[in-house]
Chains A and B, each alone.
Chain A
Amino acid sequence: MIFKKRLLMVIGILVVMISLFAYGQNRIIVRTKEQLIKRIGATETTDWKKLAEQQLIDMKNRLDSHYMDENHKSSLRVRIEQLQYNIDNDINPLDSSLAKFTTRFMEQAIFLFLPLLILILSADLVSGESSSGTIKLLVARSVPRWKILLSKYLCLIMMEMLVLFFALMISIAIAGIFFGFGGWMVPTATGFKVLAGQLDTSEVINVPQWHYALMVYSLAFYVSLIVGSISFMISVIVKTTAASIGIMMSTLIAGSFLSYFLSDWKLTRYMYMVHLRLTDYMSGHFQPIEGMSMAFSVTVLGVWAVCALVISFFYFTRQDILV
């Protein structure tokens, strides 16, 4: 079956990327620790608080640098405040664990890597039938067209679930080798808010890491649904797979540079591509624009998906099939 092959391919890509990511993360952690230990002048230390405080001082020093632009500075300020919060609340920010890695991997994958994987599975779901001509025998049957399309869409949702499930399982399996299998109960802070370049910690709560990971993966599933629906619509309208993949890829990549215009050009904030980094709202990473909140992003994405589905079904049930 083609989808079995396709899924195997996706799993292969996941294995390679997660291995690379795990190795990279591991290197960074080891090196930061080494550097910090050198800075303090100690030969060996197990007290993470000392290391974290040193990191805090380093960051603050960098803030005074004249070469850094304002944008970077405010984002650094947010990170300093986060670190401070962690130190104050006895949460070790340097320590890496499997749970943390699994979470971080999805945080990094959610805006481009994950959508691209979904694209591999969804782009030719309908257009593939059009380009091979099999759509004729599929539609000329005593089954209404909307049912045929719905079954395709349900199949897509199942595949999205599988992709996320495999992403989770593979990252647990591979990263477990690097970081051990623990860290699921460690508390993590979430609920940060950025207000006018300042970190608002008034609503911060601590949740166990597993809880946090679950939230991240749920958001990732939401993003998969949205990207899947939009790519599904393109696949219904466009008759060749190449065109369908091309359109989706270019919009996804455009998203990364459209964010630059976000503050000046109001229209961009209604594009689905700039809203895919949903997890950043939870971790308190700096958001470049005022007024963009989790609720706003989720709504924009939801509206896109609903419109995409309505158009897909409307178009598919009415179109003349001439291939």
Chain B
Amino acid sequence: MNVSKSIKGKEIVKDLSLNLAPREIFGFLGPNGAGKTTTIRMIVGLVKPTRGSIHICGYSLADDFIAAMSNVGCIIENPEMYKYLTGMENLLQYANMDARITMQRISEVVDLVGLKHRIDDKVGIYSLGMKQRLGIAQAILAKPKLLILDEPTSGLDPAGISEFRQLMKKLAYEEGMAIFLSSHLLHEAQQMCDKVAIIKQGVIIKICSVTDMTTDNIIEWEVDDPAKAMHYLKTEWNIEAFQRNPKTIQAAIADRPLDEINKGLIRGGIALTFCCLTKHSLEELFLDLTKGDEIV
């Protein structure tokens, strides 16, 4: 997909491009107001993109809504259900809208999310965590190929979160779903996702696999001319560097040879005063990447 969205003249999402593979858990990270929910609303057809198009399993969302959406299950923000119905009645309501869902599938899903004993209670008396579970149940009823979850673990207790993680892995690796989940809890994404995209003010600033990100060695240089150094890193080594201080830049160099890079920097006439290795967790990186910026 490649989309932009303006709401009331304000560009919320700018030329955002993403690709998801089957059996992949994709984390969509960003601070509040970064455009995560708007992007998700576009993917599930609640909001129409101002520009660009979305394809799900090869079907264009705009031209072939039914075919595209029949491959999608989702929760958007809070899992709002009909409070005056029981959990089961809610599921039946959604099952009625899709001929593929059988009674057997419903009870299978209820078992899967662990709501077996409370499914005949009214949703009005459910806790937030139970509503989340019901939300997930509703999303996976039709065995979608793409599962979209907006802040799925909010309201879950620690045991629930770890259970949820297991469930996601099972759905992705055993049932072959692609899972797209948004979150601002980074360690959660770190534990669950294969790949993450970090979005800030409607722009993706980094997409990489979680293993790359966490084992990536982040190098910090102190130089006299950061702009020149960043230009050199980009053109010579294809390294995306970030300026931290007036004199300091940072970048992940993966397995590129540091000594060669440094030689190049010095040969390029950049005064290198300090160079060190810092190990970053995803959260630190996330904070670094999105630091100091106001919500749009």
Taking Cβ atoms with an 8 Å cutoff, the residues of A that contact B are 1-2, 5, 132-134, 136-137, 139-144, 318, 320-322
Across the interface, A140 reaches (CB within 8 A) one of B66, B74, B82, B98, namely B74
Question: For B46, B77, B84, B98, which residue has the most chain A Cβ atoms within 10 angstroms?
Answer: B46
In the complex, the answer to whether A140 meets B84 with C-beta atoms within 8 Å is no
| CB-contact partner of B85 in A1, A5, A136, A320, under 8 A | A1
Cβ distance A190 to chain B, nearest Cβ, rounded Å = 45
**Cα A261 to Cα B176 with chains together (Å):** 69
B80 near A144 with CB under 8 A, answer: no
Interface contact A134-B80, CB-CB below 8 Å: yes
Q: A320-B48, A322-B41 are in contact. Are A140 and B65 (CB under 8 A)?
A: no
A194 CB to nearest B CB, Å: 50
Top-9 shortest CB links A-B: A133-B80, A142-B70, A140-B44, A142-B69, A321-B46, A320-B47, A136-B76, A134-B80, A2-B84
* Min C-beta distance of A187 to chain B, whole Å: 49
Q: Is B237 an interface residue (CB 8 A)?
A: no
Instruction: Give the number of residue pairs across the A-B interface with Cβ within 8 Å.
Output: 66
Give the distance in Å from the alpha carbon of A318 to the alpha carbon of B80 in the complex: 22
Give 16 A-B contacts (CB < 8 Å), ordered by A residue: A132-B80, A132-B82, A132-B83, A133-B80, A136-B76, A137-B80, A137-B94, A139-B46, A141-B94, A141-B98, A142-B69, A142-B98, A143-B98, A144-B66, A318-B48, A322-B7
A142 CB contacts on chain B under 8 angstroms: 65-67, 69-70, 72, 97-98, 142
Give min CB distance, A140 to chain B, whole Å: 4
The residue in chain B whose Cβ has the minimal distance to the Cβ of A320 is B47
Scoring A5, A136, A142, A144 by chain B CB atoms within 10 A of each residue's CB, the highest score goes to: A142
- Chain A residues contacting B81 (CB-CB under 8 Å) are 134, 137
**Given A133-B77, A143-B66, 15 further pairs, Cβ under 8 A:** A1-B85, A2-B84, A5-B84, A136-B46, A136-B76, A137-B74, A139-B45, A140-B45, A140-B76, A141-B69, A142-B97, A143-B98, A320-B41, A320-B47, A322-B47
**Contact call A320/B46, Cβ cutoff below 8 A:** yes
Residues of A within 8 A of B65 (CB): 142, 144
Contacts of A322 in B (CB 8 A): 7, 41, 46-47
Residue B153, interface by CB 8 Å:
no
Chain A interface mostly: loop
Asked if A141 and B97 make an inter-chain contact with CB atoms under 8 angstroms apart, the answer reads yes
| 0/1 interface trace, chain B 105-142, chain A, CB 8 Å (1 if under) | 00000000000000000000000000000000010001
Question: Which single member of A1, A134, A141, A321 contacts B41 (CB below 8 Å)?
Answer: A321
- Secondary structure type dominating chain B contacts: loop
The reply to whether the CB of B78 lies closer than 8 angstroms to some CB of chain A is: yes
Q: How far is the CA of A140 from the CA of B70 in the complex (A)?
A: 10
Cβ contact of A1, chosen from B48, B80, B84, cutoff 8 A: B84
In the complex, chain A residues whose CB is within 8 Å of the CB of B70 = 142
| CB proximity of B36 to chain A, nearest CB, Å | 14
Interface pair A137/B66, CB less than 8 Å apart: no
Residues of B within 8 A of A143 (CB): 66, 97-98
Q: In the complex, what residues of B have CB within 8 A of residue A1's CB?
A: 84-85
Question: Residues 41-78 of chain B: 1 if any A CB is under 8 Å from the residue's CB, otherwise 0?
Answer: 10011111000000000000000011101101011111
CB-defined contacts of A5 to chain B, threshold 8 Å: 84
CB interface residues, B 215-230, toward A, < 8 Å = none
Find residues 126-184 in chain B having any chain A CB closer than 8 Å to their own CB. Answer: 138, 142
Q: For residue B80, which residues in chain A have a CB less than 8 angstroms away from its CB?
A: 132-134, 136-137
From A134, A144, A321, give the contact of B82 (CB < 8 A).
A134
Q: CA separation between A136 and B98, bound complex, in Å? A: 16
| A27–B245 CA distance with the chains assembled, in angstroms | 92
> What are the residues of chain A within 8 A of B7 when measuring CB–CB?
320, 322
CA distance A210 to B73 in the complex (A): 54
CB distance from B115 to the nearest CB of A (A): 17
Which of chain A's residues have a CB closer than 8 A to the CB of B74? 137, 140
Assess the A140–B69 pair: CB atoms within 8 A.
yes
Which residues of chain A are within 8 angstroms of B142 by Cβ–Cβ distance?
A: 142
- Known interface pairs A1-B85, A320-B48; A137-B138 also in contact (CB < 8 Å): yes
Select the residue from A1, A141, A144, A320 with max chain B CB neighbours within 10 A.
A141
Alpha-carbon distance between A318 and B75 when the two chains are bound, in angstroms: 21
Whole-angstrom CA separation of A137 from B74 in the bound complex: 8
B84: which A residues are within 8 A, CB to CB? 1-2, 5
Known interface pairs A132-B80, A134-B82, A322-B41; A140-B47 also in contact (CB < 8 Å): no
Residues of B within 8 A of A134 (CB): 80-82
